[in-house]
Every structure is written in structure tokens, then in C-alpha cells.
Amino acid sequence: MSYELSGWTEPTLEENLIKAGFDRRDFLKYCGELAAVFAVGGAVIGSATPATAASVPAEVIAEKLGAVKKPLVVWLQLQECTGCMESTLRSGGTTIEDAVLRLLSVEYNELVMPAAGDAANKALDDANAQPHLLVVNGSIPVKDGGIYCTIGGKSAEQVLRESAKNATGILAVGACAVWGSVQASKPNPTGAVGVDAIITDKAVVNVAGCPPIGEVITATVAYVLTHGSLPKLDAQGRPLFAYDQRIHDSCQRRAHFDAGQFVRSFDDDGARNGWCLYEVGCKGPSTFAACPIIKWNKGTSWPIQAGHPCLGCTEKNFFDNYTPFYQTLPNVGGFGVESTAEAIGLGVVGIAAAGVALHAGATAVKQAASRRAAEGNEPLQAFGDSERVWLPNPKKVEVAPEAPAAETTDDSEKAE
């Protein structure tokens, strides 16, 4: 559908969306998608029972997100390549998500704001003076007085410290902001560090990846807005709802890993047949990310599906620890329940049956899910480590009385 935004003219987000041409049904559907990403809502396929008792249904998210007053967001871009903002701008598959992103107007962002020079500096000063959500792309070079990245005559460290002062939440988005990324790899000539090395008196949410998936970035922003608090984080400060899932546990090539069927060069028969990429350097067994489930480019594909090994871009220090990228590195961990790739491969080559291999993969996933449950972590249905979660059936979603639910032909119904 088409819509027409005239900026934030109404008090709340939902009112602005309705003014732009969306109806409550569109908004509820969008919130259902968000609920699935948060893994706290929706219905389990094949089951009449709603999701867990601790879940938050789409209607509650709609109520909270709809009532959001115009939030103030400062989005800094420090020592980086603009890839994370590119990923953000290309996130989402629904028109309404585009509209929400545009409505959550960012008061300051060097890449996309029309203002420049003094006007841009003033916009930043004005926003910094009020409580705001701070999003940071890029690392902070601290060597030589910070001369390697300056904005408006200030070092990146100064800019960050000033913006962090009144921030009610801080998101470090992308490997550069999380730990420094390629510019921080040895010998780190500019002394690049991540946000949480500078800001130590406030929690920093690390949205890891090079770049992170756009939907994960926007979901984290939406989580903070709808929950009024930061999501649960893992030991590296990453939101658990998006990073408690090993690539290897949801990988579509996993059956071939379990069957000992490995690509040995990028032009061999194994490559043509979609076999496992471990022997050409895949770091999926030691990488936590939602790539196999959310995928990229609006769910079109992801690196391993396209035939490229995972480089481990969501893991700290991956440029130093995971290179050479196209080699198997014996010291890179990640195998627990499965022993080693070599042992598995030798054990099952010749007797590989896809059904057995698939079962082994499923077992590993179930074990990972039980471990998470035992540890009290949030379920991750949306990211594939449990039963698949589908959006709520629109027929079951309450809509305004004057807008009766129309017949639907969406995929969730077909699947049921």
C-alpha cells in the first residue's frame, strides 16, 4: 500500500501511522512480527495454545509501541564505513516498518540528515541537552589524542561522551561500535575501541555484526521503546533475543556436516550440491547470530545459503581470531555436543543417511534449547531453536469494531 507521511504531527506513534494511511490491522500485524522477533508472542504452529505464559502478545506490543510519544534519537557515526546505517535503512519487509522507521525521527545523524556544518552541530547540541536514545555506529580511535576521527573539531571520544551524558539507553550497533572491528585488529594503528570501553557508567547494548542484520537493529530499538528497558544481554553485551542462537544449529547445510559431506574447494561437486562449508573455513559452529532464520535482504538469502562460509562477524575480535577466513582453524571452539567436525565426518562417511543426519541436527538444537531453558534464558522460537512461531492468525486478533476482519490467505493459515 502507499502512504503519505507528513512528519510527527500527532501525539503518538499509532496516531501518526493512522494519519499516514495505515489502519489498526496493519499496525497489529506489524506488532505481531515484532513479537515474533522478540520471541515473546505469537502462536505455536500446529497448536491451539498460545505461546508461553511469559509471552507478550502482539496486542500488548501494539498498545505500548502505539502510545510512544515522539522519541528523541541521536545516531552517531564515528570511525566506520556506513554499512550499518545502510543495513538499517534496508531492513524490514513491510511498508509499515518503513513508516515506523521514518517516524522514529532521528534528530541527529551525519549520514542522512540534510543539515550540515553549524546547523548540524546545533541539532546535536540540542538533542544532547534532553534525554534521548543514543545509537552509535563506528569505533572510537583513542591514540594520538583521537586525531583519526574528528567531527566538528571534536574527537570521536568527546562526541561520544557528550552524547552519552543524557542518554537513557545506549546501543552500540555494528562490530566497530561493539569492539573496534577491522580497524582494531592487530596492530590497531589508531587505537580503536568500542563504545563500552569508553562509556563504563551505563549499560551498553552491543548489536554485533559487520553489519548486523537490519531487522535486528530495528528490533532492538523497538524493544527499548516498547519495554522501556534494555533487553537481557549475553556475556558480550548482545541482546539474547537475537544472539543466543548458533549459526551451526539452524544452518540448512547442517545435515551435510553431520553426514561428513564437506565442500573442499569452491568449484567442486560438494559446492554444487550445497554441502557443508566447514572445511573451507566456516565459523558457524562458533558464531552466535540469527542469520539462518531472519536471513538478509528481506529474507531473500544469507551467506551460507549463497555458498560462502560464515566469517563469524558477530564475535569479538573475529578479524584476529578467525583469520585466515578460508581455512579451518583447529583452535576455534564451538563444538560441544557434536565433538569435532573431523570426528563426525570420519564416523559417518559411507553410512550417511540424510534422515539420521537431520535427526542429529534436530537433537543438537533441542539440547541447545533445553540448556537455555535450564539457564532461565528467554525462548527463541523466532530464531528457530524451538518450534516455529508464526504470526498471530489475523482472524484471532482483535480489531476495532468498525473494521471487521477480512478474509485472509496469509502463509500462517496455509501452514495450519
Which position's Cβ is nearest ligand SF4? 284
Residue 407 DSSP symbol? P
Residue 106 binds to ligand SF4 (criterion: CB under 6 A): no
- Closer to ligand SF4 by Cβ: residue 169 or 285: 285
Identify which range of 18-26, 73-81, 287-295, 362-370 contacts ligand SF4 by CB under 6 A.
287-295
Name the one residue in this structure whose C-alpha cell is 549463497.
306
Angle value at C-alpha 183, between 287 and 188, nearest 5 degrees: 110
Cβ contact 257:248 at 8 Å: yes
Identify which range of 53-61, 62-70, 149-157, 274-282 contacts ligand SF4 by CB under 6 A.
274-282
Name the one residue in this structure whose C-alpha cell is 582494531.
184
Identify which range of 14-22, 229-237, 282-290, 386-394 contacts ligand SF4 by CB under 6 A.
282-290
What is the footprint of ligand SF4 within residues 254-273 (CB under 6 A)? 254, 257
Residue 24 binds to ligand SF4 (criterion: CB under 6 A): no
What is the footprint of ligand SF4 within residues 172-211 (CB under 6 A)? 209
Residue 247 binds to ligand SF4 (criterion: CB under 6 A): yes
Instruction: Quote the CA–CA distance of 65 and 31 in Å, as a whole number.
Output: 8
Q: How many CB atoms lie within 10 A of CB 48?
A: 7
Residue count at the site for ligand SF4 (CB under 6 A)? 24
- Closer to ligand SF4 by Cβ: residue 14 or 385: 385
Q: Which of 228, 194, 220, 183 is nearest to 320 (CA)?
A: 183
- Environment class of 387 (CB within 10 Å of its CB; exposed 0-12, middle 13-18, buried 19+): middle
Among 77, 226, 261, 314, binds ligand SF4 (CB under 6 A): 314
Residue 164 binds to ligand SF4 (criterion: CB under 6 A): no
Instruction: Quote the CA–CA distance of 295 and 288 in Å, as a whole number.
Output: 14
Residue 286 binds to ligand SF4 (criterion: CB under 6 A): no
Instruction: Quote the CA–CA distance of 306 and 302 in Å, as a whole number.
Output: 6
CB of 194 to ligand SF4, least distance (A): 17
Residue 238 binds to ligand SF4 (criterion: CB under 6 A): no
Among 22, 241, 278, 319, binds ligand SF4 (CB under 6 A): 278
Residue 348 binds to ligand SF4 (criterion: CB under 6 A): no
Identify which range of 4-12, 34-42, 119-127, 307-315 contacts ligand SF4 by CB under 6 A.
307-315
Instruction: Quote the CA–CA distance of 260 and 349 in Å, as a whole number.
Output: 5
Among 31, 199, 230, 277, binds ligand SF4 (CB under 6 A): 277
CB of 313 to ligand SF4, least distance (A): 3
Instruction: Quote the CA–CA distance of 11 and 3 in Å, as a whole number.
Output: 19
Residue 84 binds to ligand SF4 (criterion: CB under 6 A): no
Q: Which of 238, 232, 181, 249 is nearest to 211 (CA)?
A: 181
Q: What is the C-alpha R_g of the chain?
A: 22
Among 104, 177, 282, 357, binds ligand SF4 (CB under 6 A): 282
Among 156, 293, 311, 369, binds ligand SF4 (CB under 6 A): 311
Cβ contact 322:332 at 8 Å: yes
Among 42, 285, 379, 384, binds ligand SF4 (CB under 6 A): 285
Residue 313 binds to ligand SF4 (criterion: CB under 6 A): yes
Instruction: Quote the CA–CA distance of 261 and 274 in Å, as a whole number.
Output: 9
Instruction: Name the 3-class secondary structure at 243.
Output: helix
Instruction: Quote the CA–CA distance of 109 and 89 in Å, as a whole number.
Output: 13
Instruction: Quote the CA–CA distance of 226 and 241 in Å, as a whole number.
Output: 15
Contacting positions for ligand SF4 (CB under 6 A): 209, 247-248, 251, 253-254, 257, 276-278, 282, 284-285, 287, 289, 291, 302-304, 310-314
